[in-house]
Structure 1
């Protein structure tokens, strides 16, 4: 009974209803002409199963959709499904080992063919195919089989009782793809299917008309979209690349674009741009944390194809004392003030929200302690050499610190380099174009998932308000390796039997307080082993033209989640 009660409470009353959007501008599909969107991190693919980058998830969400997703308050709402299954409505089995979804009647793909349960099942098969590399595989943990008793019914069977069965096919990270289009793209062939990966057939409000990787995507209204009169825009120009400042100016000052994503800029810069009067900033806090990852593997280029492979440990970051000292040297309050101001909050956790999951066991990180860091390294036998760099047994504390190219991130890098070198850790800085860094090319040495550096920095978050799938991203089997085409979210290549056991425990735990206890324990392992160094709990900041209506900033799903409801209120050109 406790499991069933927790399940019902987790999805709240919103699980029983469809989302309704007020649109005072009803009319013909495509009536408002062109929508112009700019993401300064350019998408490199339109298939979120082959990329962990937010830019790809967001762009793809205009085209391919899940069975259910999360609204602006983090409530689970039906999307391609008729309703969200629960124990109360009979959609989740009494023993919590299966969940039954029913597709909306009459759904069509953008090519005019019917959407069926076969497509849903295939999406699972695609992500879990042997020899493939699926960036979202944690969404399908514990799925034993998927049955399709008829064209509209999908039954997901789990190998264990799942109190929270809303990982598969839910949120922007786990959309439905067309079986007919991707049939020849299973396993190792997935990255080779360029046409399918760039131009997916979808159910969303738009279809791709041209995809130029790391540059521009053009889209047109989906004539088979399920809601009459939507989308309001006939075409979308989705520009990628550049930098956050240029993107902000393009909305606020020149009016060249209608929507700019992720304006990672200093607060005074953002407020100054807004004074031009053409746009407005929208901000909301979710689970985004700017963090530094510590690489547990050796990425020496001399290792060749064994570079970054589990079994080749890092020469010094495997020493916890080094990782801890590097964390102690950081002044997070100063970083957050300089980088984000009111758009940032201090945190010592990679899981800062919702509040029930926020641990208070790691708050020591809020105070910089340079002298303590030095003493810790002294005690661990890392002696300061003649050039100021610490060494031990012929190994020097010298790190390559990489991140994406962005003014705020380069400010963070410069300050952290100064603090690390003060404690005797030589630091080389590297920044990589964001479109490449967050890209999906398994052959590139520069992606954040391949992580061919000692430490790297970026922000990440998760769909919805339940962290089970997110925290599963640091289990042993989630480490990017050649065998999975460098996909997976465990970029540090961290492996802990204790952590994996907690993941398994959370999968079968229904009581919300117990789920919180387990999630905090998983967070605390990562924090207290200093595998991840959280820096700032970031608010999501984007901007839109004052003449763009219908925008609802969503930090629990794709920012473009309700683009079908956007409309033009006037001419801002």
Structure 2
């Protein structure tokens, strides 16, 4: 159900082709970019709907997937992944490789040649100084950066000319190319004279080099974009792009069905509507694989989750099969890991989940968690009671919460459901680990690379003083050691057992309770073309420059 022939994760050949720092990166794609070809006259309007509201408009600050729906419209990375896992150039004249002299054989020296003549939306020329600024900003200790993984190895970043940039790596880092592919470049001049870059005016009025200009935002409703007719690649072909916020999945589907929505995006068509959606006239509905996995994430700083026996008992009391079959109509596949099942690095030998209330109770009894008069277990003054939060309006997640709330109660665990609108849920509440537990969908990979340091390295937890996405606040020295080891290797066959061991350790530790890997039900009107699922990217708009109305 989740597999797609031309949009799968790395097989052995593709895995080798992606490791640019070892001189084996795939050659830059050509043919996509007709440098400064006459753009088609943009026409028409398209409405794309998300069930979560984009709220972070500086792409170098902490953000979630839905925010990237805006980034691909407004900004550009240096290069990106296509659906087959190959890099293609965007702001670069060519993707750097060992073969073309962009990367030294040892992976320590990088030289990037930029496309000449690109301009920012305000007409200012785009130069190597903008790339230098963007890369260095991620390492600024006073800036709330969304990621430090990889960047921290970059040294002596130098703008040799307006179109050439060099830097050194303090040590080889295999995922670097994949990280650059998910790094959106921002304008240096927009921060001139700004004392606190965390509160810069740019953060609410973004300027990019991308196919669309940020026109206006109506908070809680929609964002309007207009065509950048000076765009440096083919397109855009749309005059106006509207990203609409519809928090209730049933309402979002109804609006897609009625024609008010042209493309239905995150969180897409829910499985309970699949049968009807496939028969809608004038609509294209497709099932696409995704790297995202659904889980119950635990805040590992909370006393309720310190005992491994508690986490194992909770997982044992989670009726995954019923949730997947009854609520999701069997569309997604159950998983035991964060790694997509299509990945070259997926570990197929992890212990299979067993649902057993009896064994879960026995495990907690043995660990010394005693039931009180109220039926809630307690040990050393800590009650097994906690909140669980997710996006309000996601009816399937809300029903799943009811499922495990009831089964957890049968083992003496009290769960209080505490849901929020997306902008609140995935803001500081999530980023700063203010939650007890969450129902969350995550893609922990950078493109097709298996590195997950940003999510599982101990030093990447914001609540523990780090700069990253480890909101579980997970700590395991062995995982830290293996992540460093895996990132230093450029041979897929050598990396594979490292990342499989990481999956085994995390499966044993259970900082999150894995439920299923996503299978996305995507839909758009039949007069819309260019929409193409891409398992190597986290959001629909990765190629919004190509979208058209007929």
1:489 matched to which residue of 2?
Answer: 469
1:330 matched to which residue of 2?
Answer: 318
1:204 matched to which residue of 2?
Answer: 210
Matched-pair contact (CA < 8 Å) for 1:241–1:435: no
Is the counterpart of residue 362 in structure 1 residue 373 in structure 2?
A: no
Matched-pair contact (CA < 8 Å) for 1:263–1:543: no
Distance 1:247 1:113, change over 3 A: same
2:436 to 441, 450, 454: 454
| 1:27 Cα deviation after fit | 7.0
Q: How does 1:50-89 map to 2 (within 5 A)?
A: 50-89=61-100
2:540 matched to which residue of 1?
Answer: 559
- Give, in whole Å, the separation in 2 of the partners of 1:266 and 1:538: 11
| 1:286 Cα deviation after fit | 2.6
2:164 to 148, 153, 156: 153
Is the counterpart of residue 269 in structure 1 residue 273 in structure 2?
A: yes
2:28 matched to which residue of 1?
Answer: 16
| 1:438 Cα deviation after fit | 2.1
1:96 matched to which residue of 2?
Answer: 107
Matched-pair contact (CA < 8 Å) for 2:150–2:176: no
Is the counterpart of residue 247 in structure 1 residue 252 in structure 2?
A: yes
- Give, in whole Å, the separation in 2 of the partners of 1:201 and 1:21: 22
Matched-pair contact (CA < 8 Å) for 2:433–2:463: no
Is the counterpart of residue 126 in structure 1 residue 131 in structure 2?
A: no
2:41 matched to which residue of 1?
Answer: 29
Matched-pair contact (CA < 8 Å) for 1:247–1:263: no
- Give, in whole Å, the separation in 2 of the partners of 1:9 and 1:402: 37
- Give, in whole Å, the separation in 1 of the partners of 2:332 and 2:294: 10
SS of the residue corresponding to residue 210 of structure 1 reads: strand
Instruction: Summarize deviations over 1:195-232 as a string: whole Å, max 9, x none.
Output: 3112221111100111233432111111221136x211
| 1:139 Cα deviation after fit | 4.9
Instruction: Summarize deviations over 1:162-185 as a string: whole Å, max 9, x none.
Output: 3443144312xx110011113455
1:390 matched to which residue of 2?
Answer: 377
SS of the residue corresponding to residue 447 of structure 2 reads: coil
1:192 matched to which residue of 2?
Answer: 199
SS of the residue corresponding to residue 419 of structure 2 reads: strand
| 1:556 Cα deviation after fit | 1.4
Matched-pair contact (CA < 8 Å) for 1:41–1:243: no
SS of the residue corresponding to residue 144 of structure 2 reads: coil
Is the counterpart of residue 466 in structure 1 residue 429 in structure 2?
A: no
Q: 97-106 or 350-359: which moved more?
A: 350-359
- Give, in whole Å, the separation in 2 of the partners of 1:328 and 1:184: 55
1:425 to 390, 396, 413: 413
Matched-pair contact (CA < 8 Å) for 2:269–2:522: no
1:413 matched to which residue of 2?
Answer: 401
2:151 to 112, 136, 140: 140
2:516 matched to which residue of 1?
Answer: 536
Q: 286-295 or 132-141: which moved more?
A: 132-141
| 1:413 Cα deviation after fit | 0.6
SS of the residue corresponding to residue 89 of structure 1 reads: coil
Structure 1: runs of 5+ lacking an equivalent? 298-313
SS of the residue corresponding to residue 423 of structure 1 reads: coil
Distance 1:162 1:242, change over 3 A: closer
Distance 1:327 1:34, change over 3 A: same
| 1:453 Cα deviation after fit | 2.5
Instruction: Summarize deviations over 1:304-338 as a string: whole Å, max 9, x none.
Output: xxxxxxxxxx2231111101110111122222223
2:334 matched to which residue of 1?
Answer: 346
- Give, in whole Å, the separation in 2 of the partners of 1:16 and 1:510: 19
1:475 to 433, 440, 457: 457
2:386 to 399, 409, 433: 399
- Give, in whole Å, the separation in 2 of the partners of 1:49 and 1:275: 41
Aligned residues: 528
- Give, in whole Å, the separation in 1 of the partners of 2:546 and 2:146: 29
- Give, in whole Å, the separation in 2 of the partners of 1:201 and 1:408: 37
SS of the residue corresponding to residue 253 of structure 2 reads: helix
Instruction: Summarize deviations over 1:382-431 as a string: whole Å, max 9, x none.
Output: 11222221112332111111111211101111111111111111111111
1:181 matched to which residue of 2?
Answer: 190
Is the counterpart of residue 48 in structure 1 residue 59 in structure 2?
A: yes
SS of the residue corresponding to residue 494 of structure 2 reads: helix
SS of the residue corresponding to residue 540 of structure 2 reads: coil
- Give, in whole Å, the separation in 2 of the partners of 1:525 and 1:384: 30
- Give, in whole Å, the separation in 1 of the partners of 2:286 and 2:33: 19
Distance 1:255 1:138, change over 3 A: same
- Give, in whole Å, the separation in 1 of the partners of 2:504 and 2:433: 23
